[in-house]
Amino acid sequence: MTWRLMVKAKIYGDLVRFIEGQKEVVTVQLREGAVLSDLLRALGIPADEVWMASRRNQIIREEDVLMDGDEVSLFDPVLGG
């Protein structure tokens, strides 16, 4: 498998519990043509745990293709009282 993309994921809220060392910023190598769902799988974050994902201040969906150098922010649902 050829790795061609480097994507930076910024993890917010309780989603850090899925990341080894509970890091808030992780760089992931993905194959060309990878989509958001591939990034989530590589991070070990279940898609149903992510409330919203964004790139360049635009909301993205699981099927959106990622590009080399993308910074993707992942947010969990916010609960209030």
Is 29 within the bounds of a domain?
A: yes
Give SS3 for 15: helix
Q: Which CATH number fits the domain that encloses residue 22? A: 3.10.20.30
3-state secondary structure 18-65: HCHHHCCEEEEEECCCCEHHHHHHHHCCCHHHCCEEEECCEEECCCCE
User: Which residues form the domain of 49?
Assistant: 5-75
Is 50 within the bounds of a domain?
A: yes
List the structure tokens of 76.
């969990």
Give SS3 for 14: helix
Q: What is the pLDDT of residue 4?
A: 87
Q: What is the pLDDT of residue 1?
A: 57
Is 81 within the bounds of a domain?
A: no
List the structure tokens of 34.
């990878």
- The pTM of this model reads 0.90
The tens-digit pLDDT sequence of the chain (81 residues) is 566 899 999 999 999 999 988 899 999 999 999 999 999 999 999 999 999 999 999 999 999 999 999 999 999 987 655
Is 41 within the bounds of a domain?
A: yes
Angstrom distance (rounded) from CA 60 to CA 34: 13
